[in-house]
Amino acid sequence: MMSESNEHPDKKALLVVSFGTGFPLTREKTIDRIEESLSMSFPDRTLYRAWTSGMIIRKLQKKDIFVMNVREAMEAMIHDGITDVIVQPTHVINGIENDRMKEDILSYADSFASVSIGVPLLTSTQDNEEAIRAVMNEWQIPEEEALVFMGHGTTHYANSIYAALDYTFKDLGYKNVFIGTVEAYPSFQNLLRQIQNYSPGKIHLAPFMIVAGDHAINDMSGDNPDSWKSLFEEAGFSVECYLKGLGEYEGIRTLFVRHAKEAV
C-alpha cells in the first residue's frame, strides 16, 4: 500500500490514517476499501497508510506484517521527496486518537510545502445525518424489531456524539434504531432500559465502528456472558448479530472522500 520509490514526479501524497485492526478479513472489507475509494478520488497522489494503534502495530510485527505509525509515515514521505500531503483519518470521532494524530502530523509540517488534514467521519451535524442515511440505506428492519449499534466510546469529551447520534436516528424517523458504547455513555445498561421500553420482538446487533474487529467479535457477538448478545438474550430478547464494519458501507466511504476533498 505504501510506495517505497523515490520517484514521485508530482510530489503529492495522500496519507490515510486508521486506528487499525489485527483481523485481516475485516481490514480488507473496510480500511482497504476506504483507502481504495480515497485513492481513486486522488489519482495524482501516492497513497500511504498509517495506523494509530501501537498495540495492533506491535501485534502484527510479530507476524512479520509491518504498518507504519503516523510519525514513521511522515518520515517516509520526507524521504520519498513528497512536498504536498493530504491526510485523511478514518476515525469515527474527533477523539484521543485523532488529537494525537494531528499532533504528530503538525510536528512535521515544516518539512512540507503543504499539509492538509481532513476531519473524522462524524464532525458536523451534516456528517451525522449523512452517516445515518448511508448506514440505513442498507438496512430494512421491521418496526416491531430493533436495530442496535455498538459504538466504541471514549473518555474524551467528543464521546457526546453518540448520544447525539441516537437522538438523530429518532429525529430522522428511525425510532427503532439505538446506539450505545462499549466504554462510555450510553452504556449497555442505558441502552437496555431504552430497548425494554420499546419492547421489540427481535434485536439486530451491529458495530458502529470502522472495522468489525475485536469489540464486534467478542464484546458484541461473543458467547461470553458479558457480551451484548448474551446480556440481551439474558434479558429475554431474540438476537441476531452482523459483523459489518462502517467501512463496508459505500455511503460512509463517500463521506470520507468528501472530507478529504474539503481539506484541500
- Residues designated catalytic: 152
Q: DSSP H helical segments within 93-236, as ranges?
A: 96-106, 125-136, 161-171, 188-198, 214, 228-234
Of 249, 264, 259, residue with least CA distance to 120: 259
Write the CB contacts of 175 (distance below 8 Å, at least 6 apart in sequence): 143, 169, 198
CA distance 11 to 8: 5
**Residue 151: beta bridge partners?**
181
Q: How far apart are the first and last CA of the chain?
A: 22
The grid coordinates of residue 146 equal 430493533
Of 186, 18, 32, 171, residue with least CA distance to 98: 18
The grid coordinates of residue 26 equal 475485516
Burial per residue of 99-138, b for 16 or more beta-carbon CB atoms within 10 angstroms, e otherwise: eebbebbeebeeebeebebbbbbbbeeebbebbbebbbee
**Backbone torsions φ then ψ of 86, nearest 5 degrees:** -110, 130
